[in-house]
Structure 1
Amino acid sequence: MSRAQWLLLTAAACAALTGCAPLDALPYAYEIEDTVLLRTLGVDVATQRLDGVAVTASSGERPAVGDSPGQAGVVLSAQADTVSAARTMMQSYGKDELFFGDVEQVVVGEGLAQRGLDDLLALMARDPELRLEARLWVVRGGSASDVLFGGEEGGGVDDRLDAMEADAEQRSATLPRTAREALVDLARSGTTFLPALAQGPSRPGDGAEGDTAVSTAGYALFRDGALCGWAAGEEAHGIHLLLGRADAGLLECAAPDGARVALLLTGVRTDYTPVFRGGALAGLEVKCKVEARLAEVRGGDALSREELAWLEAETARLCRTRMETALSHSRALEADYLNLRQRAALSAPWRKDELEQDWEKDFPGLAFTVNVQVKVAGG
């Protein structure tokens, strides 16, 4: 059985394992007063055994239950050959039962991401306690254990991850993605992208309560199920534009008169058209329409009609550069993590078979043409 077939079978089983399953499908019964509800799961490459895994679990601060007062969070860790065995080891650490059915965030260390996500995602699909709707994060330049234990001093990293997820759903440089989305991507093309985290020293005003702070760091890029690169900064914003998302937030530029201008992107539509020459796929034309609102002008007067036209042209240039950077990197990695093949096929369904057949061969040499039109309101 091929890797793609195996992943497709796993994805097909997701509905049965994570949908409206009967309550007795859960392996244990829990008394809530004697149970630690874990919110975040971290998975790394083991340091104490060959080819094993290191698992870290965090509860965050535990609220009061009945007459029992609230309690400080706990962070537990274990190493074993499998995630399941490590979780079983944690059950022996104290008198309270550990419940993994509340895990909403799964943090993957860079080392494990380089090894590959297939095993972890397959476990999440078949384990009745774990959920494919959990958000996945990849730690850039570090381990999940470092992130979870580093957040313990400030009351736990769980609330910080929840806050970043909420921010991302509104307006952020990083979009949240679930294990289910990653599983479907990998089954379809062997590629995906996931939000990245970075840990560093805290500084005044960043909201961190301890010595370290966790922040978003663009995206981790995957090919054949394993980490193959990173996308951050302008490239991460380019990914949003290519996906037709307006989550890229504010865009700043300097006007000709020296004023600093801030634009809020309010709408993005991106269309793809495959280009054929001599019956062969030669390129991909990308057309993007952006709607933006003037948020702030600092150091200048209200924009004239000519200045507004300049601003629209400059914004189009900046957006085009972001998109071209993301496309070029995807092509260089030979990783179609943006699912461009399907997007191209949707615009030319009569040539879907040709696109499906030749895409992997043609993708590294495709010529991308990006055109962006911008309309700014509030001038």
Structure 2
Amino acid sequence: MKRRIAIFVLLVVCTGMLAGCWSKKELTDLAFIIAVGLDKTKDGKYLASFQVVNPGNVAGATQRGGGAAGVPVSIYASTGDSLVEASRKASQKLSRLPYYAHTNLVVIGEEVAREGLDGVFDALERNNQFRTTARLVIAHGHSAQDVLTVLTPVDKISANQIIKTLEFSEMAWGQTMNVDVWQVIRDLSSPGRNPVVTGVKIEGNPTRGKRQTNVQSSVPDARVSLDGLALFKNGRLVKWVNGPTARGVVWVLDRIKQTNVTIPWNGKQEAIGFRTVRAKTDVEAEFKGGRPSISVHIGAEGDISEVLTMVHLNDPAVLLRLEKELDRHIENEVKQAIVSAQRVRTDVFGFGDAVHRAAPRLWKKIQNEWHDRYFPELDVTVTADIYIRRTGLRNKPYMEK
């Protein structure tokens, strides 16, 4: 009798565990949203753009050689007073249920970024489908909708191309950053740090970039490329930085993986190239007379990547002089980035977090005035220690004086 009861209870438990189809959704009923763009309309409402995958065309592009297939993505746009309202209104145009589990890119229009990101991410973070690991970029010079409508020739889904470009650019160039939504939310909620987000721009004709002919040419009419770093303060975009200044920001944030630094030599500009292979930045808070100061130390090693002047790389004294010149060059890049941030009174480096870790009681007193009073006058000491590990396969350049 007890055995029969036990078997019956086991069957009941198993039946309850197997009944998991109550919330099923057919794949043919879902619209897979790969990217979301957010702009502002003339009347102040949000314009949300949704990049939806056309599954048959993406699969067909692989089988038929890319350009012969149909358009791999479609853009649906709707307006609303909030992102949720705009998303719900998009259902009037979509024949499928919007599905955000595969959304891996969020593009914010520059106008929205300058007005402020307050409340923009609340709906995304609350949505149980959306993943905060989605990458975030700021549209620079064009709307977020224009960025999402450009068709790309190599990666059929343009959102994937932007994401891969972010990853490889940070890895190889060091003037951009691969930032996700969660990191920006964390920076927005931190009193000692402001967000830094990479910008994207359209090169060429955006109107022609929407057509399928854009992917059928070896020279597309429009391309999407990365364009500098956007510095934020109180959730608002306040400044764009590019080139060495942008790389200085990345140096301080300890996000340099590889980059190429060129220095002058023998009176010739950009004469010698240095490629970093390893880099580490340490930021420490110090206190002088009760006021905080910051020490930034950069350590890196790498190889000589290019020589365009006469120099004997087999001479240890010459290598030592090169290392000192690299030290000065990188220190100047970092100092320039710090001065640029101090001018707009935004601590994007996390110096406030360093002060908080070193002196929690002092930080509690000054955190409300940190960005506007203490950070602009902050004394920052920058030191670099660069080591040349290898000089390549040639010690003596073939160029003669």
Question: Aligning the two structures, in what range does the TM-score lie when normalised by the shorter sequence?
Answer: 0.7 to 0.9
The 3-state SS of whatever aligns with 1:191 is coil
CA–CA separation in structure 1 for the residues paired with 2:76 and 2:218: 22
Partner of 1:158: 159
User: What is the aligned counterpart of 2:276 among 258, 265, 268?
Assistant: 265
TM-score (norm 2): 0.77
State the Cα distance separating 1:159 from its structure 2 match.
Answer: 3.1
User: What is the aligned counterpart of 1:365 among 366, 371, 377?
Assistant: 377
Q: For 1:268-347, what aligned pairs fall within 5 Å after superposition?
A: 268-281=279-292, 283-298=293-308, 300=310, 303=313, 304-346=315-357
Aligned length: 343
Partner of 1:9: none
CA contact (8 A) 2:152 2:223 kept: no
Query: What is the CA deviation profile of residues 163-212 of structure 1, one whole-angstrom value per residue up to 9, with x for unaligned ones?
Result: 2133145323211111111111111127211111122227xxxx986312
Matched, 1:241 2:242: no
CA–CA separation in structure 2 for the residues paired with 1:111 and 1:248: 32
Matched, 1:212 2:222: yes
TM-score (norm 1): 0.81
CA contact (8 A) 1:78 1:90 kept: yes
CA–CA separation in structure 1 for the residues paired with 2:230 and 2:201: 11
The 3-state SS of whatever aligns with 1:326 is helix
The 3-state SS of whatever aligns with 1:111 is helix
State the Cα distance separating 1:294 from its structure 2 match.
Answer: 1.8
Partner of 2:189: 187
CA–CA separation in structure 1 for the residues paired with 2:53 and 2:28: 16
Amino acid at match of 1:340: F
User: What is the aligned counterpart of 1:41 among 36, 42, 57?
Assistant: 36
State the Cα distance separating 1:279 from its structure 2 match.
Answer: 2.5
Q: For 1:98-177, what aligned pairs fall within 5 Å after superposition?
A: 98-151=98-151, 155-168=156-169, 170-172=171-173, 173-177=175-179
Query: What is the CA deviation profile of residues 98-154 of structure 1, one whole-angstrom value per residue up to 9, with x for unaligned ones?
Result: 322211000000011012112111111111222211111001222101111233799
Query: What is the CA deviation profile of residues 223-244 of structure 1, one whole-angstrom value per residue up to 9, with x for unaligned ones?
Result: 1111111121111111121122
CA–CA separation in structure 1 for the residues paired with 2:389 and 2:105: 38
CA–CA separation in structure 1 for the residues paired with 2:180 and 2:89: 27
Amino acid at match of 2:119: D
User: What is the aligned counterpart of 2:51 among 49, 58, 82?
Assistant: 58
CA contact (8 A) 1:39 1:158 kept: yes
The 3-state SS of whatever aligns with 2:266 is coil
Aligned residues: CA RMSD: 2.9
C-alpha spacing 1:208/1:333, structure 2 compared with 1 (3 Å): farther
Partner of 2:242: 232
Matched, 1:221 2:231: yes
C-alpha spacing 1:256/1:299, structure 2 compared with 1 (3 Å): closer
The 3-state SS of whatever aligns with 1:188 is coil
CA contact (8 A) 2:135 2:163 kept: no
Q: Which of these two proteins has the greater Rg computed from alpha carbons? A: 2
Query: What is the CA deviation profile of residues 303-327 of structure 1, one whole-angstrom value per residue up to 9, with x for unaligned ones?
Result: 1323212221121111111110111
State the Cα distance separating 1:270 from its structure 2 match.
Answer: 2.3
Structure 2 unaligned spans of 5+: 1-18, 206-216, 392-401
User: What is the aligned counterpart of 1:198 among 169, 177, 201?
Assistant: 201
The 3-state SS of whatever aligns with 1:120 is coil
CA contact (8 A) 1:246 1:266 kept: no
Choose 300-309 or 222-231, whichever is displaced more. Answer: 300-309
The 3-state SS of whatever aligns with 1:131 is coil
Structure 1 unaligned spans of 5+: 1-23
CA contact (8 A) 1:37 1:102 kept: yes
Amino acid at match of 2:46: V
Choose 54-63 or 220-229, whichever is displaced more. Answer: 54-63
CA–CA separation in structure 1 for the residues paired with 2:136 and 2:169: 13
